[in-house]
Structure 1
Amino acid sequence: MTEGSDFGVLRFACEGSGTMLGASLTAPASTTQSALSNGFMVGCWGLAALSFGEWLNGHAGPGILLAVGVELALGLGFFQTRRVSVELETAG
């Protein structure tokens, strides 16, 4: 595969994920929405751990730490949103 086709696959995956998560934001709270949120959160934290491991092993440069920070922030954002929605469900 050429570099251009790799970018196309990555762009397609990002657009698909964004569409899926954007559509779930407007849906009423459900187990499907919770599963999407949990899956994305675990995926972000897994990618952060793998990326940090690659940096520790010397397979990636210091620029990967920016990606690790973004992945951790996204995972924490989804965790915070999940926690707040659970609190609202139990209060209401």
Structure 2
Amino acid sequence: MENIFNMHQAKTQFSKLAKRVGEGEEILIARNGVPIMKLVKFEPAEAPERDFSSLKGLISEVSDEEWAAMDKEILSMWKYSESLDDN
């Protein structure tokens, strides 16, 4: 099957072309018969492994008591209401 389509053909047949690309086929899109782009199936890149070793020594451990104190402080900043809709 031909894989070069002029711009107008590509616009009118986009769903069909997208299906073919999804099945692994590469489609060339041309302007005036000259290929200007290629449709290819998207392959997500693997996320690189994160290296946090440069942070060593910059962050101290937080005890359960310190977390509880921070939670209490944050909760005290929030204003609670009986109703979110005051109308």
TM-score (norm 1): 0.22
Larger radius of gyration: 2
Structure with higher strand content: 2
With normalisation by structure 2, the TM-score equals: 0.23
Relative contact order (alpha carbons < 8 A, sep ≥ 6): 1 or 2 greater?
1
